[in-house]
Structure formats: C-alpha cells, structure tokens
A and B are shown apart, each in its own frame.
Chain A
C-alpha cells in the first residue's frame, strides 16, 4: 500500500456494553451515551474515511448493536464501498436486526467467545451470555455473512485452546482469531490474573499450529502470541499513523485504540476537523509517525523498519514516555519491566476488576 494512506478505520460507535470482560480494549475512562456522535456525524466520518483511502471498516464498541442506527450506518458504509465488519458480543443480535443488517449490505460479523467452558465463559464476561452467543452464531451462519469468531486468550482459558477451535468449527465460523491479551487499560489492571505461564503459551502455540494445518481450506485460524513472551515487540499496524485509525464514541481520533492513555498527547475531534486534516496534520498523528522521534536503541537499530520501535501505548503505559522503546524489546534495558511482570505472583480470577462505566453497579 502507498505511504501513509490509511486502509482501516475502527469506529467505536459506543462504549456501552452488556459484557464486562476484564481485558476490554476500551479505555478505563469509558465514554457515556450522551457524549456519543450522532448518526450524521458517523456517516460523514465514513464518507471522509473512504475519500482518504480507507477500505476496511470495523463497526465496533462497546457493543455496536446498542446503537439503534447501526443498520443505517452499515448501509451508508456499504454505499461508500467500504468492507464492513461488525465486531459484536452477539448479545442483541435478533433475527430482525440480523436480516436488516444483511439487507443494509453488511458483509462480515465477528462474534466474541470467552471460552469453550460455558461456566468460565460467563465468569469472564461477567454476565449470562453463552446461549445468546450460540443463537447469534447460528443466525450469522444461516444468513450467509462472512463469520469470524474472536477469542481473547489468557491464563483462565488458554489450556482449552483446542476445544475453543473445535467449538468455532462447530458453530460454522469461516475464521477464528485467537489473540492473547494485550495489557493496556483494563488488561493492565488485571494483568496478574490474566498472564499465562510460559508452559501454557508454548503448548497453546503448538496446538494452534497443528490446527492451522488441519483446518486449512475450511476455517482460517490466526493466532497472535502474547508479546510479553517475545524477544521483540509487535509491529503495531505497520507503525504509528501509517494505515490505521480509530474514532472513539465521542469523535476523538486516535492512531491506536489504546492511545488515550498517552496523556501527553491531544487528540482532535471529527466534530471540529476533517478526518483528512486529523490524519495528516494533527499533532497526535504526527507525533510518532516515521522514525525521527526515536531514541536509542531504536534509532540505530536495523529492526526499526520491522517493528517501528513497537507499541507507543505500551511504552507510555509502562515507562511514562511514549518515545521510549517498547519495553518488550530485549535490546533495551527497559525489558526488566516486562521480566518483573512475568515474575509477579499470579492472582486468582475472583480478583478480576470487571469493566464498568463509572457509577454503574458493580459485578454480582
């Protein structure tokens, strides 16, 4: 793809969600319903995104089905030529809504599964959800959507990765995305209860690799390793401000869904600026684009064109300076922060801090 033309927009339509997963990728400070963008705002954003070069649109949240205008937004996205993915818990996907979404031209639905063990799945989600998800999966399959199951992996479910893959195949998924927890925001709060052991990671990697071969041609399997156990950091979307952008429910535009935790940056809003201006000119997008911001050891490192110094959000969250090397990298002395975390005593699941919007009732 050409330089600095975005391909992917993640639209966080709302932060409201019936689930309370302790690794949620939304920020700790969740945005309330009254601050959300209007239908017209979102339509304008999708049109501007397409003009800017965006091809892939994620209709995400929170739970995007809580937006009553979702069908209208999906239809508008399709009219622009965008390939849309609904990223949902499955809760709220009634037959009527699924049929309307199909009619609107939505192509791909991604349903989250917490575990193959129903009891643990509901403990992770913090709410009764397994039956709803099964019903939603059956609908998605029946109506002929492209269908992905996505699973966030951690210590409490990693040992059942084989069963989880089988379950996805039985539900008729075209794809399954198995991604280890990323430790930002809620995930970082709950890190000691979520972090798998090295043995779990090794074993699950073997099972995933075998399954990739076994299911080839029938179900596509992607497996994302936990970066804490890697020697080098992940290449976040090809680098900051390269191909990816996120619009939060209140209209602020982020280079990464975890970027609001970088408190030293100001993020511009689609209510005040065009997406094109924000993408190319705004302070936040320019801050870590390219490699001139890099310090050592990144600056002189041949890997800087491979992993781009890793994740800016992780660098900030763990070191307080977003321009530092991602501490996952074994070439930086900051790596001891990761090694210390890996040696932290594990905490039990019943100490999860569940995801809630402030002042909501706590988990029961």
Chain B
C-alpha cells in the first residue's frame, strides 16, 4: 500500500475530475476510460485534495466536521486511491 505521510500534499491525478452525478445521486471521479463512484466520505476527502492542503490539514478539517477522529479513515482511503494512481503525492 502507498502510505502518504502527514505532511504529504495529496492531489487528484491531473487527468481526473470530480463530478456530481444526479442520476446515481453520488459523486463520481472521472478520468480517461474510467469512473469511480464515491461514497459521501470519499467525496468529502477528495474535495479537500486541492493540491495545497496536507494530509494532516485534511484530517483536521474532517475531524471538526464529523466530531470524530477520522485520521485512520482518511489515511487508508488516500492510500487506496494512491495505489490506484488516482491520487498523487505532491
């Protein structure tokens, strides 16, 4: 698994775009020849990957939003997306 450190700045793959799909009523990540349906948590994380925030900053924002420690979830999710090369470091 690709581990992203707390100071890593994750960003979406240059070729990927986040879109809301009104048909499936879910966010979806679109990229060449592919699409991933996102659950609400996944979409919330990816929306914060703007290329300037660190993993730590994303964790802080979501921890405040959900009133729960989400660091493990965020790390695991971003690592999975990095394995699929849909999220890149730096």
A contact set with B: CB distance below 8 Å: 1-2, 5, 7, 50-53, 55-56, 81, 83, 85, 107-108, 110, 146, 148, 174-175, 177, 216-217, 220
Contacts and interface: CB of A to CB of B under 8 A. Distances in A.
A108 B30 CA distance: 11
Contacts of B88: 217
Interface of B: 14-15, 17, 19, 21, 23-24, 28, 30-35, 37, 85, 88
Contacts of B35: 1, 7, 55-56, 83
Contacts of A83: 17, 19, 30-32, 35
Contacts of A177: 33
A56 B85 CA distance: 19
- At the interface, is chain B mostly helix, strand, loop or mixed? strand
B31 A2 contact: no
29 contacts: A1-B35, A2-B24, A5-B23, A50-B23, A51-B23, A52-B23, A53-B21, A53-B24, A55-B19, A55-B21, A55-B30, A56-B30, A56-B33, A56-B34, A81-B21, A83-B17, A83-B30, A83-B32, A85-B32, A107-B15, A107-B17, A108-B32, A146-B31, A148-B33, A174-B15, A174-B32, A175-B15, A175-B32, A217-B85
B32 A148 contact: yes
A108 B17 CA distance: 11
Given A51-B23, A52-B23, A53-B23, A146 B15 contact: yes
Contacts of A107: 15, 17
A50 B14 CA distance: 23
B32 to A, nearest CB: 5
A140 B15 CA distance: 13
B87 to A, nearest CB: 12
Nearest to A52: B23
B28 A55 contact: yes
Contacts of B34: 56
Contacts of A220: 85
Given A7-B35, A110-B32, 15 more contacts: A1-B37, A5-B23, A50-B23, A56-B33, A81-B21, A83-B31, A83-B32, A108-B15, A146-B32, A148-B33, A175-B15, A175-B32, A217-B85, A217-B88, A220-B85
A3 to B, nearest CB: 12
Contacts of A55: 19, 21, 28, 30, 35
Nearest to B37: A1
Contacts of A53: 21, 23-24
Contacts of A175: 15, 32
Contacts of B30: 55-56, 83
A110 B85 CA distance: 19
A52 B37 CA distance: 16
A85 B37 contact: no
Contacts of B23: 5, 50-53
A2 B28 CA distance: 13
A233 B63 CA distance: 47
The 4 closest A-B pairs by CB, nearest first: A83-B30, A146-B15, A53-B23, A55-B35
B24 A5 contact: yes
Contacts of A52: 23
Nearest to B30: A83
Nearest to A82: B30
Nearest to A144: B14
Contacts of B37: 1
A1 B30 CA distance: 13
Contacts of B19: 55, 81, 83
Nearest to B89: A217
Most buried by B among A51, A53, A55, A174: A55
A146 B23 CA distance: 26
A1 B38 CA distance: 10
A260 to B, nearest CB: 23
